[in-house]
Chain A
Amino acid sequence: MTVPTLEIQSLTLGLKGGARLLRDVSLSVKPGEVHALVGESGAGKSMIGKAVLGVLPPSVQTLSGSINLQGNQLDALSPAARRQAVASVASLIPQDPLTALNPSRRIGPQITDRLIKRLGWKADDAQRRALELLDRVRIRDPQRVMASYPHELSGGMRQRVLIAAAFAPRPKLIVADEPTTALDVTVQKQILALIRELQQQEQTAVLFVTHDMGVVAKISQRVSVLFAGKVMESSDTADIFSHPKHPYTQALIMATPRYTHPDEALRPVPAELIAQLQREIAADDRGAAHVR
């Protein structure tokens, strides 16, 4: 049995004011596996990625649970040690290619900086690796792009650069935070193909955050469905689409329009289902509070 790259157990996050953002979330990601986190806005899917990378907003506290990344129990480490442990092993593909790149620096240093400064690579090696990756994301003139500024590139190209930057340090885990949400649908397909290709070649584990069930079906092998910070259902992607067990999963799938079934009525997630789930969650919260 393979040791998972990432193992999250019973993670509960909350705001200082008391509201819960994640409720008892558990999941694991194996090497080379793409695990999708799907849910609507506010479901907490981005929070999980941020918790793993250690970039939660200061107002969010970990109330309970643990995160184990590549054998390191992250919560047991000091903040500095934790940053080092994460930096050597994990990367992020962010959502917005526009704001993720520094507009006043060239592309090259933005890729190689982390390799040289954080991971101690030699400048030549870093340069070579950056060029190699720019080539693998099918950028035609890697040298020119290395010397360019972000605003000189199109949105699709910037996202490719960010993918190259994420894979450059040979991470064991990549957190992809809605990397295709801001892109055109044809560009999205290309980007998904690239992520898949690189991930399979390097056997990188990927935590893929998205709100789109269609993307989940295409890119992931396992999926966790989130609602109000809680995992509703977690299983193999193939199973979830053939036999979704949880009513919320079913509702999400049915609410996604399909051009192949034009006469299917659009079915929003039923209000009664939402209300029922909320009642259950509120009851769980109260129970947990009593235990404390």
Chain B
Amino acid sequence: MSVEPLIRVRDLQLSLPDMARKPLFGPAPRIEILKGLSFDLPRGAITGIVGESGSGKTTAGRALVRLLQPTGGSITFKGQDITHLSETSLKPLRRDLQMIFQDPMSSLNPRHTIGRIIANPMERYGVPNARQRALETLERVGLPASFAGRFPHELSGGQRQRVGIARAVALDPAFILADEIVSGLDVSSQAQVLTLLRQLAQDMNLTIAFISHDLSVIRNVCSQVIVLNQGLIAEAGPCRQVFDAPQSPITQTLIDAIPLPEIDESWFDTVKV
């Protein structure tokens, strides 16, 4: 029995105006960031999107949750084409398309309490007992309910990321975009956050797009992976397959570049300086 993928992306293109080269009169020349991506995000799975800077992975993620508007191609969510929907039409869908951000410092409003940060989206969508649910969600991510009255600057980076996760799952969404959520964290906070994410994904049957530059993290968390390079897909498939038998030289270079925490005399042999 084949289940429809939650999100279907076909030939996604996105270009942005290059304001640095804008002439005095007339439109700015456009930089093509995404040059035509096609992939599926299967329900209930964690799919990794990996690439180096300039690969377009961040842009692809933001296009998925419609923080950016694609300039070509299509994005289908639960069978509905959301590519060019207006903000008003998107509003009811936003509840299902949530996001966790990279920077634990700037993703939480420094002037709001933790409780308010988690409860706000729920209140906006008319979820009853938002405050109570916020407290429950806090406990769900392993933080004490007493944190609800604290401010972001009183928490550590790992704790702030867990608040970000709480905010995203509180609405019980169908899809979550996790954009480099552990990149700025210590290795032990990283492990905690990833374990939490995996657990929640399983418990709530979440579909997650996990953006990262760290292949080891991806391998540990995702079942599928999409490798991006310069706005195009270099390779995609189940993690096992892509890692054990990479087809693209891009993927191979990425894998070779990972410093594993083990002694390896030949590691530097594969570098092209």
Whether A and B touch (Cβ < 8 Å) is answered with yes
**Interface of A toward B, CB cutoff 8 Å:** 40-41, 138, 155, 184-190, 192-194, 196-197, 211-218, 237-238, 241-242, 251-253, 255-260, 262, 264-269
Could you count the A-B residue pairs with CB atoms below 8 Å apart for me: how many are there? 121
B200 contacts the other chain (Cβ, under 8 Å)? no
Q: Which residues of B contact A213 (CB under 8 A)?
A: 187, 261
Complex: A269 Cα to B188 Cα, angstroms: 5
Known A-B contacts A212-B259, A262-B219, A264-B220; A218 and B195 likewise in contact (beta carbons under 8 Å):
no
Residues of B with C-beta under 8 A to A187: 52
Which of B255, B261, B263, B264 contacts A256 (CB under 8 A)?
A: B261
A268 to B, closest residue via Cβ = B191
B230 at the interface (CB under 8 A from A): no
Cα distance A15–B195 in the bound complex, in angstroms: 36
Question: Chain B residues near A212 (CB, 8 Å)?
Answer: 187, 259
| Residues of chain A contacted by B214 (CB below 8 angstroms) | 185, 257
Q: Is B243 an interface residue (CB 8 A)?
A: yes
Interface band, chain B: 35 or more
Rounded to whole angstroms, the CA-CA distance of A73 and B218 in the bound complex is 48
Inter-chain pairs besides A262-B220, A264-B220, 15 sampled, C-beta below 8 Å: A184-B53, A185-B257, A186-B253, A186-B257, A187-B52, A211-B187, A212-B259, A214-B260, A214-B261, A217-B259, A257-B217, A259-B258, A265-B195, A267-B191, A268-B195
In the complex the two chains form, is A196's CB within 8 Å of B191's CB?
no
| Closest Cβ neighbor of B239 among chain A residues | A262
Residue B203, interface by CB 8 Å: no
For residue B102, give the distance in angstroms from its CB to the closest CB of chain A.
14
B154 at interface (Cβ–Cβ under 8 A)? no
Given A194-B273, A255-B191, A266-B220 in contact, is the A184-B52 Cβ separation under 8 Å? yes
Q: Do B191 and A214 have beta carbons less than 8 Å apart?
A: no
Q: Which residue of B lies closest to A237 (CB)?
A: B263
On whether the beta carbons of B188 and A217 are closer than 8 Å, the reply is: no
How far, in whole Å, are A238 and B263 apart by their CA atoms in the complex?
A: 7
Q: Taking the nearest CB of chain B, how far is it from the CB of A142, in angstroms? A: 15
Q: By DSSP majority rule, is chain B's interface helix, strand, loop, or mixed?
A: helix
**Binary contact readout B172-201 vs A (1 if CB under 8 angstroms, 0 otherwise):** 000000000000001111111011000000
How far apart are the CA atoms of A185 and B251 in the complex, in Å? 12
Residues in B lying within 8 Å of A, measured CB to CB? 52-53, 186-192, 194-195, 213-220, 239-240, 243, 253-264, 267-268, 271-273
State the CA gap A211–B157 with chains docked (Å): 15
How far, in angstroms, from A266 to B189 measured CA to CA in the complex? 11
Closest to A187 in B: B52
CA distance A217 to B149 in the complex (A): 43
Q: Which residues of B contact A266 (CB under 8 A)?
A: 190-191, 194-195, 220
From the candidates A185, A217, A267, A269, name the one contacting B263 in the complex (CB within 8 A).
Answer: A217
Q: Are A190 and B186 in contact (CB-based, < 8 A)?
A: no
* List of 6 A-B pairs having minimum Cβ-Cβ separation, nearest first: A214-B259, A268-B191, A269-B188, A259-B219, A213-B261, A266-B191
Question: Are A189 and B188 in contact, with the CB atoms below 8 A?
Answer: no
Closest CB of chain A to B244's CB: distance in Å? 10
| CA A126 to CA B191, docked complex, whole Å | 48
CA of A123 to CA of B260 in the docked complex: distance in angstroms?
44
Residue among A192, A218, A266 with max Cβ neighbours from chain B (10 Å)? A266
Q: Which residues of A contact B264 (CB under 8 A)?
A: 217-218
Distance from A130 Cβ to chain B, minimum over Cβ atoms (Å): 19
Contact indicator A218/B267 (Cβ below 8 Å): yes
A186, A217, A264: the one contacting B262 at CB < 8 Å is A217
- Are B220 and A216 interface neighbours, CB within 8 A? no
18 A-B residue pairings within 8 Å (CB atoms): A40-B188, A185-B258, A189-B259, A189-B268, A192-B268, A193-B268, A213-B187, A213-B261, A217-B261, A237-B263, A241-B262, A241-B263, A259-B215, A259-B216, A262-B219, A266-B191, A268-B190, A269-B191
Would you call B271 and A189 a contact (CB within 8 A)? yes
Choice from A190, A253, A258, A265 contacting B216 with Cβ under 8 Å: A258
Question: For residue B257, which residues in chain A have a CB less than 8 angstroms away from its CB?
Answer: 185-186, 188-189
Report the minimum CB–CB distance from A114 to chain B (whole Å): 25
C-alpha spacing A189/B255, complex, angstroms:
11
Given A255-B187, A259-B219, residue A218 in contact with residue B259 (CB < 8 A): yes
Contacts of B188 in A (CB 8 A): 40, 251-252, 255, 268-269
Of A138, A237, A253, A268, most B-chain CB atoms within 10 Å? A268
- A40 interface neighbour in B186, B194, B217, Cβ under 8 Å: B186
User: Contact: B187 with A40, CB < 8 Å?
Assistant: yes
The complex places the Cα of A189 from the Cα of B254 at a distance, in Å, of 10
Residues of A within 8 A of B260 (CB): 214, 217, 258-260
